[in-house]
Amino acid sequence: MSAFSSNPSSAPCNNNVGFLQKNNSLEERSRIVSSFKEKHSSSKNLRSCENSDTESRFRRAETDFSNLFARDLLPAKNGEEPTMQFLLEVVDILTNYVRKTFDRSTKVLDFHHPHQLLEGMEGFNLELSEQPESLEQILVDCRDTLKYGVRTGHPRFFNQLSSGLDIIGLAGEWLTSTANTNMFTYEIAPVFVLMEQLTLKKMREIIGWPNGEGDGIFSPGGAISNMYSVMVARYKYFPEAKTKGMSAVPRLVLFTSEHSHYSIKKSGAALGFGVENVILLKSDERGRVIPADLEAKIIEAKQKGYVPLFVNATAGTTVYGAFDPIDEIADLCEKYNMWLHVDGAWGGGLLMSRKHRHKLSGIERANSVTWNPHKMMGVPLQCSAILVREKGLLQGCNQMCAGYLFQPDKQYDVTYDTGDKAIQCGRHVDIFKFWLMWKAKGTIGFEQHINKCLELSEYLYNKIKDREGFEMVFRGEPQHTNVCFWYVPPSLRGMPDCEERRERLHKVAPKIKAMMMESGTTMVGYQPQGDKVNFFRMVISNQAATKSDIDFLIEEIERLGQDL
């Protein structure tokens, strides 16, 4: 009767091992191992040993999802088993994806044009319909969604300031979605609200504000954090703008460098300043703002009768990775009584490194700071903080005292409720993954990550600065991990600097990028900047990247670009 007696005990596993040995790809192997696992946990052989319902319900079993639908899952009656089986199946898809993401033999992406995906790929149909699909189809859709996506955690994905797939951060996000709550009150997010408070305080300490005093909030991204800074600055100097609007205050102007992030201009447009009143400052050849230009433009604005309100200093510009000289800007802000904001969305992470934090020297003099852990610190998207030195401004600026949400007569200390500080009502829990990563790595773990990324970019810089066919966009070692360069194909190397060369060089990076994406081997961004034609911007924030990936990138650019 026992399956064990009817089978030689070692036979099935030997069979499986043999099967495995024939297959070399990790993907293939993991699929087989999964199916092996399924068979073992549901086959008659083992069933005979696990014939109790109570036992088998919580293990992954072979489930026929083709006859199951969303309505069969919890809270449906008897929904527990299909729910668990479905979730475990999803987890199997996800863990396979995670594994493959770190495997360099996996492509970064499997590129398709929009029309191709819209027409439907082998049973992957994006259209929504009246009737439900089976859970089997839903699982196929999950697999296909990942298949046709981009592996932003792949060691050779360098396309964005946010890259990498941190396992602790991922676990944190899974938990966050399972908890599915809202940051607006302590009442429904007690633990997360406290984590946010403690983490923001720690960040303020690291910025250098005395005792970590001040305020802050996590927002849905750096652009909105920057928008907060402009709002709070306006409220500090012209609180009447909140009630009476921008027509009741003098013409206010904001200053930011030509290399800064476009979100300052977006804020100017959105908040009623007008883009014309966002004055762009000149940068030096390295992308750092020129303080003398700031002072000249402040004086010019005042002569016109405008009121200089706000200066944004960027700590880590998007393209060059430049750090504006914060101390010199702070002097001018003090002299002219202006708000100093530091946009450290990209470069704020360097504060965690004793070796590199001097690049943000003077940040402790800022009135507000944007700092996105989802960029340089490798936290999953979205995780951005706006930190404000003066307490009470965020609340004063944004509160509307909605009685239905923020009842003063609750049984707990309602100063912990955060909703009235925010421009949002409901607010996603962005803190947990970050808090968990900090616990798991320690402050020193973040420091090591930052230092390693900067070492890698130094390695890249040293490798290409004198290499044939490579031309640096600016001289000298980059301040951040941004390395900006042109690849000059052999056909252009002899050519003098003329309009034709510029035009042809302008097309090189887009062509190489297109080929990269179509071959799926790696991804790196490019753009023009000012009068400079398209160049590659390499950035490293991915903890999976190594020197060999840098070598690969260089060789891949040469391989794809040699005949252009």
Shortest reach from residue 389's CB to a copy of itself, in Å: 21
Nearest-angstrom CA–CA distance, 278 and 264: 8
Single out the residue of 24, 78, 128, 494 in contact with a copy of itself (rule: CB under 8 A): 128
Single out the residue of 61, 87, 280, 290 in contact with a copy of itself (rule: CB under 8 A): 87
Region 466-525 residues binding a copy of itself, contact defined as CB under 8 A: 507, 510, 513-514, 517-518, 523, 525
Residue 255 β-bridge partners: 279, 311
Single out the residue of 295, 405, 471, 504 in contact with a copy of itself (rule: CB under 8 A): 405
Single out the residue of 44, 75, 466, 531 in contact with a copy of itself (rule: CB under 8 A): 75
**Cβ proximity to a copy of itself, 293 vs 343, nearer residue:** 343
3-class DSSP state for residue 353? coil
Single out the residue of 427, 454, 524, 553 in contact with a copy of itself (rule: CB under 8 A): 427
Q: Residues near 357 by Cβ (< 8 Å), separated by ≥ 6?
A: 350, 351
Nearest-angstrom CA–CA distance, 160 and 170: 18
311 near a copy of itself (CB under 8 A)? no
**Cβ proximity to a copy of itself, 202 vs 559, nearer residue:** 202
Single out the residue of 229, 283, 479, 534 in contact with a copy of itself (rule: CB under 8 A): 534
418 near a copy of itself (CB under 8 A)? no
Which pairs with CB-CB distance under 8 Å and at least 24 residues apart come from 172-181? Answer: 172/380, 172/432, 172/433, 172/434, 172/435, 172/436, 172/437, 173/380, 173/432, 173/433, 175/432, 175/436, 176/429, 176/432, 176/433, 179/429, 179/432, 181/429
**Cβ proximity to a copy of itself, 79 vs 208, nearer residue:** 79
Region 17-46 residues binding a copy of itself, contact defined as CB under 8 A: 17, 20, 29-30, 33-34, 36-37
**Cβ proximity to a copy of itself, 332 vs 352, nearer residue:** 352
Q: Which segments within 372-474 are labelled E, that is strand?
A: 384-388, 470-472
Shortest reach from residue 257's CB to a copy of itself, in Å: 14
Question: Residue 159 carries which DSSP code?
Answer: S
Residue 359 β-bridge partners: none
Region 374-403 residues binding a copy of itself, contact defined as CB under 8 A: 374, 380-382, 384, 397-398, 400, 402-403
307 near a copy of itself (CB under 8 A)? no
Structure tokens at 95: 């863990």
Nearest-angstrom CA–CA distance, 460 and 550: 6
Site string for a copy of itself, 217-236 (x = CB under 8 A): ---xxxxx--x---x-----
352 near a copy of itself (CB under 8 A)? no
Single out the residue of 245, 392, 476, 490 in contact with a copy of itself (rule: CB under 8 A): 245
Nearest-angstrom CA–CA distance, 420 and 431: 18
Single out the residue of 83, 395, 451, 519 in contact with a copy of itself (rule: CB under 8 A): 83
273 near a copy of itself (CB under 8 A)? yes
Element containing residue 29 per DSSP (H, E) = helix 26-42
Q: Which segments within 41-174 are labelled E, that is strand?
A: 157-158
Site string for a copy of itself, 94-113 (x = CB under 8 A): xx-xxx--x--------xxx
Report cis status (omega within 30 of 0) of the bond before 75: yes
> What is the per-residue burial (b if ≥16 Cβ within 10 Å, else e) of 120-157?
eeeeeeeeeeeeeebbbebbbeeebebeeebbbbbbbb
Shortest reach from residue 413's CB to a copy of itself, in Å: 6
131 near a copy of itself (CB under 8 A)? yes
Site string for a copy of itself, 149-188 (x = CB under 8 A): xx-xx-x---xx-x--x-xx-xx-xxxxxxxxxx---xxx
51 near a copy of itself (CB under 8 A)? yes
Shortest reach from residue 167's CB to a copy of itself, in Å: 4
Residue 303 burial (10 A CB sphere; 0-12, 13-18, 19+):
exposed
List, as one string, the DSSP characters of 274-285. -GGGEEEEPB-T
Size of the site for a copy of itself (CB under 8 A): 196
Q: Give the number of residues written for the chain.
A: 564
**Cβ proximity to a copy of itself, 107 vs 251, nearer residue:** 251
3-class DSSP state for residue 437? helix
Shortest reach from residue 163's CB to a copy of itself, in Å: 9
Shortest reach from residue 64's CB to a copy of itself, in Å: 16
305 near a copy of itself (CB under 8 A)? no
Shortest reach from residue 363's CB to a copy of itself, in Å: 20
Give, in order, the Cα–Cα distances in Å from 108 to each of 113, 391, 522: 16, 45, 6
Element containing residue 27 per DSSP (H, E) = helix 26-42
Region 253-272 residues binding a copy of itself, contact defined as CB under 8 A: 261-263, 265-266, 268-272
Single out the residue of 65, 158, 310, 432 in contact with a copy of itself (rule: CB under 8 A): 432
Structure tokens at 461: 């810089």
